[in-house]
Structure 1
Amino acid sequence: MYGTLETVLLITATLGSALIAGVFYAFSTFVMGALKRLPSEQGIAAMQSINIVVINVWFLGAFFGTGIVSVGVLALLLKGPISVFAMGGTGVYLIGCLLVTMFFNVPLNDRLADVAPDSAEGHKVWNQYLTKWVFWNHVRTLASLVASGLFLAALV
């Protein structure tokens, strides 16, 4: 059985990864579909705006905070009985959510930020972005959801 600190951290990691999975799920299931239906210059402009607004304390706190809490869970559990589920949740969240974001989604966002929405280059980048970014967002969605389930399993 876990102590109070371990339990609180596991609950926080469970809820944080589920919250992030929900955000990514919304983008995968309807936000990007709605943006795709717009003329490319409008879709680009909207996504460029989203990519600026998302840099805020609430989203980044949940996104990176869940990663930090996950590492905290792992550090505490390494001192005692190791939970394979907690280790798995931490690994899946850090790799499938944080690293995928940093190495795939952010570079795509940066590339989109560099184009003029009404340019031919913008149109070309947007069409590639819709395919690649959404694919990697599906990966992040699934990873965050799996991490949440693993943290929940560790609690049980």
Structure 2
Amino acid sequence: MRTVALAATTLLLGLSAGVFFAYSTSVMLALHHVEDRTFIDVMQNINTAILNGWFLTAYVGAFLLAIATTLLHLGSGHRAPLPWLLAATILYGVAFVVTATVNVPLNNTLDAAGPVAAITDPSAVRAAFEGRWVTWNLVRTVASAGSLLTMAIALLRA
């Protein structure tokens, strides 16, 4: 049971980290070169599209399974993976908290700007969003990748 939980957690962490990595290494780099209204329109559409069962299962499921897997190992006699599990859970917790406290509020503010055609100063809307969002997405990318790595080490030690 513990090994299956470890493997499932590693899979979900990998999927979630991959989303953040893809934004850092392609999506936001490409969007940086488009005009302001296009940038806002695309990001508003992404904010809507990403709220789907597949993403939410990987994103939330990774955190819940990381906690559950850590707890399963706390109660077992086999504690070799425990430090790595704790590290993975804490690192993913960082990504989770950054998402909830920085990236999602920025997304909500961007969405609250309204339909892109009605925005009077798209340059200001973009400026208030892009740099901060990209910076904190990089934090999520590093934290979730670190979580994946430490969870993989825990899996090897199981």
**TM-score, normalisation: structure 1:** 0.91
Work out whether residues 115 and 122 of structure 1, in 8 Å CA contact, stay in contact via their aligned partners in 2: no
Percent identical across equivalent pairs? 34
Matched residue, 1:127: 127
Matched residue, 1:109: 107
Work out whether residues 70 and 89 of structure 1, in 8 Å CA contact, stay in contact via their aligned partners in 2: yes
Residue in structure 2 matching 1:100, options 98, 101, 119: 98
Work out whether residues 16 and 66 of structure 1, in 8 Å CA contact, stay in contact via their aligned partners in 2: yes
Aligned-partner Cα distance in 2 for 1:113–1:53: 13
How big is each residue's C-alpha offset from its partner over 1:54-105, in whole Å with a ceiling of 9 and x where there is no partner? 00000001000111111111111111244100111011112x2111100010
RMSD: 1.3
Q: What amino acid is aligned across from residue 103 of structure 2 in structure 1? A: N
Q: How does 1:14-25 map to 2 (within 5 A)?
A: 14-25=10-21
Structure 1 gap segments, 5+ residues each = none
**TM-score, normalisation: structure 2:** 0.90
Residue in structure 2 matching 1:77, options 69, 73, 78: 73
Counterpart secondary structure, 2:32: helix
Aligned-partner Cα distance in 2 for 1:55–1:109: 12
Aligned-partner Cα distance in 2 for 1:146–1:13: 14
Q: What amino acid is aligned across from residue 63 of structure 1 in structure 2? A: Y
Aligned-partner Cα distance in 2 for 1:12–1:141: 20
Q: How does 1:1-156 map to 2 (within 5 A)?
A: 5-80=1-76, 81-82=78-79, 83-94=82-93, 96-116=94-114, 117-118=116-117, 119-156=119-156
Aligned-partner Cα distance in 2 for 1:139–1:125: 22
Work out whether residues 112 and 122 of structure 1, in 8 Å CA contact, stay in contact via their aligned partners in 2: no
